[in-house]
Structure 1
Amino acid sequence: MNAKFALLLIILWTSSTVSKSQVPSEKKRWFEIQVNKNVELLGFVYFLGYEGAQAETSDYSPRTKARYAYGLDLYRQYKAFENSKNLAVAIGFAQDIWLDYFINLLVQLDDFPNAKLRDDIDPTYYLRFSSKKDTTEAKTNAVAFIDAMNGLWREVDFDTYLTQNQPKYANAIAQVKSGLPDSSFIPTMEKFYQAHLDAYKLVPSLTIPPGMGFGVKYGAQDKTFAFHVFGAFHIPNFKDSLTLDMGFNDQKHLLELSTHEFGHSFVNPVVDELPGNMFSETESLFEPIKKVMSNQGYTAWKACVYEHFVRAGEIIISQNRGNAGDTQRLRTHYEQDRKFIYLPLILEEFSKYNKSASISYRQAVRAAMAGLIDEARKK
């Protein structure tokens, strides 16, 4: 190993942020590329406590096993710890909480094994640790979860895992860096949503299952930090150190997935501001697509609404960036393949908003929801 590369690896693991790339624009905005240690342990828990055993007992297709190869290899290496008490505690809480919620909390903590639930973290980020939504109970459970994760880190010596696999992480970071969206991406997105975020963090993960992506954010000290956490795009090649390919080398996929996941940071708060009757009066629209949406992980009408508005935003932003072919492909894929059948109605309102300086994004969302109410009343 040459001295320059050795120095790079030392820098990579001195903190959660292992690499940063700045993409300047007229607004002086940039992307940060991070590998987050806490996210890596969460993905490790997913395979050690759930997916690994499932793969051994279920009839996974060869392609699925190939896509999950890295995590399943980790499971085989660390299988001796699958009866760990710390792992059991962590998995116990994971039964009723989705990965995106865990991630939104973990990115705010100090690195494992020294993480603590600080008093400045808003209770909304750990309230789901109580089925009764009781803040005191939620805090107690969240602390127990964090303590178990700290304990598991030490138990399996996760530091050694990270050290031994530094070249793989360096490869992932280099692949993401080479495929960063151009400097017009952030200004175009912020102009469309009429909002501003203080930091955009791209967080590739080797332990989060390939194909998964999460958009999370939190506010602190009057600033808002948005994260796009994602597993590999393609089947990784990690066995041969001379031909490493961790599966993140896809510029178009990174662009489209980033537009989607960062989009949630803009869309969800606006949708949350809508009056409750707009959801109750449109809930009947969920029935025709309930099965296909549930198969994609969207089991509630409000989640489906978020996804419709995020995807509509993707289409308009792609159009505004001058990508006519990609715009049509996205629209066809979402409407026909993924069955987001209310996109045409939303896009009609968004097109009006996109052409008029007198309409705000919030007004366009409300108008689209009013259109969905009219649609529900017709049925």
Structure 2
Amino acid sequence: MNLNFPFRISISFLLFFSIASSNLAAQGVTILAKPRVDERVELLSIVFRLAGAQEFSSTQFKRYTDNIERYFGAYKNHELISYIKKIRKENGIGYDAVMKMAVHLGPAPGFKPVVKLSDSVPEKRWKMEKAQEFIRLLGKFYKDSRADVFFKANADIYKEVSQRFLTIYDQLDLNWYKDFYGKSPKEKFIIINGVGNGGGNYGPDIFYKDGKREVYAIMGTWTIDSTGMARFDLRDYFPTLLHEFNHSFVNYLTDQNPSRFEKNGQVIYKAVQEQMSGQAYAGWQTMISEALVRAAVIKYMKDHSFDKQAIDREILEQLDRGFLWINELLIELEKYDQQRDRYPTLESYLPNIILAYHDYAQNISVYQNIFEQQRPKVTSIDEFANNSKNIDPAIHTITINFDRPLFGKGYSINLTDKGKDAFPKISKVSYSKDNTSIILETALEKGKEYEFELSGRSFKSVDQVPIKNFVVSFSTTP
């Protein structure tokens, strides 16, 4: 699962087209059909949106999400939506569990599962009894809301979205997966455009009774052009596509060997729990899978001659996300690739990775300290101390100082849990001449609480090391 939460991998490319990969047409690959929209995915995204699930509540593609609100808004009290709220609270059903259910369903209106359900299929959070009741209510919701009318009305949007995504699809080198993981891709690969998913990206799969397997990359839609239509930039979406397909090769490795990872995984997770929880990675096992997936993405980039600066930025991105051992794990993947006569598959090399995690666990605090020393840090705010009360609303600037010069390009200032109402009106953002401060020009109101967050997405050191997200909080006098 990859969320822009949402979590998405973000890479700045200087010369993206220097990638030495063949496109799918040149490869003659037939196992990957062109991207498309899947009504099952859209419907489940919609009903969980109606139930208030944050991960399915993006409004980034406003043209489409406004259509959802207009059409389905009257059904927010439907018994299906009430049931979703209940199972989210009781079983924590959300994120990837929702998309796993979507691909395990047959077509509307019956939604008969394509494989036999169990307490672990489509996903252990569902449990069979709750999954069956959900499917029954989903069919009722589909009929009651006449959801087919909505899908027909939005068919042109779906067609345009998938057509635009072809620029990403054409760059994927599936042969690399076969070569690197050491297994021929017998699976059927399917790219689905999650039009209403915002920055949420998912990699579910299905195992059929006859041994066949379908592997999905459900790609969110989080950028738009000046006309309000979805826009897919290679630098944003291509690495995410790599990420989701890597999950299909990696997850079973870690799932089959949990006890061998557990002790060291728990030690590491405890050290980075704050970062992992912020990305909806609720335990050490998910963290282990995500780390291997992310290291494999970087390996792909290196094998396809991505620009060094882009690779370095991706590594820093993963360090910032709490995968502090990513460099060491990447070295293990390089060792594996240099000994393919001895280790024909990544699965055969897995005992070495398990052993390496003993070192990662022992050194996690060292990795943490090294990276934190490289981060720029906020030292002060000129106009007031952070978390102050009774600030004069007449001040027109907020000057935030750092312990070293920043890169000085771009700004990343976000809402916090307090929402839009707590976000100040900012008319201009600029850097000081030496790039050691940022100056926000603001218009504050009397008697109000304010809060916003500086993120490392744009605020980085000269060496591109991101700041640790920093919350500025204060209130003004009445």
Structure 1 residue identity aligned to 2:109: P
TM-score, normalisation: structure 1: 0.79
1:194 is aligned to 2:177: no
Alignment root-mean-square deviation, CA: 2.7
Distance 1:197 1:97 in 2: 30
Instruction: Point out the structure with max Rg over C-alpha.
Output: 2
1:31 to 9, 30, 33: 33
Partner of 1:368 in structure 2? 353
Distance 1:365 1:207, change over 3 A: same
2:299 to 282, 296, 316: 316
Distance 2:133 2:322 in 1: 40
Runs of at least 5 residues in structure 1 that lack an aligned partner in the other structure: 1-20, 56-63, 131-137, 238-242
> Alpha-carbon deviation of 1:82?
1.0
1:212 is aligned to 2:200: yes
Distance 2:145 2:24 in 1: 35
1:333 to 293, 314, 317: 317
Are the equivalent residues in 1 in contact too, given 2:181–2:249 (CA < 8 A)? yes
2:69 to 72, 75, 86: 75
Number of residues of Structure 1 aligned to a counterpart in Structure 2: 334
Partner of 2:112 in structure 1? 116
Distance 1:82 1:38 in 2: 19
Are the equivalent residues in 2 in contact too, given 1:181–1:255 (CA < 8 A)? no
Distance 2:75 2:28 in 1: 51
* Runs of 4+ residues over 6 Å off in structure 1: none
> Alpha-carbon deviation of 1:51?
5.0
Structure 1 residue identity aligned to 2:292: F
Distance 1:72 1:27 in 2: 37
Structure 2 residue identity aligned to 1:373: H
Distance 2:165 2:103 in 1: 19
1:256 is aligned to 2:239: yes
Distance 1:90 1:201, change over 3 A: same
Runs of at least 5 residues in structure 2 that lack an aligned partner in the other structure: 1-22, 366-478
Partner of 1:125 in structure 2? 121
1:104 is aligned to 2:93: no
Distance 1:65 1:253, change over 3 A: closer
Are the equivalent residues in 2 in contact too, given 1:86–1:148 (CA < 8 A)? yes
> Alpha-carbon deviation of 1:245?
1.3
SS in 1 for 2:189: strand
Partner of 2:46 in structure 1? 44
Superposition pairs of residues 1-379 of structure 1, within 5 angstroms:
23=25, 25=27, 28-50=30-52, 66=60, 70-71=64-65, 74-95=68-89, 96-117=92-113, 120-121=116-117, 124-126=120-122, 128=124, 138-182=127-171, 185-195=173-183, 196-208=185-197, 210-220=198-208, 221-235=210-224, 243=227, 245-247=229-231, 249-274=232-257, 276-325=259-308, 326-335=310-319, 337-357=320-340, 358-359=342-343, 360-377=345-362
Distance 1:236 1:42, change over 3 A: farther
Structure 2 residue identity aligned to 1:371: A
Identity of aligned residues (%): 19
> Alpha-carbon deviation of 1:141?
2.0
Write out per-residue CA displacement over residues 219-247 of structure 1, whole angstroms, 9 at most, x where no aligned residue: 2232221101122031477xxxxx46123
SS in 2 for 1:168: helix
Structure 2 residue identity aligned to 1:280: K
TM-score, normalisation: structure 2: 0.64
Distance 1:353 1:79, change over 3 A: same
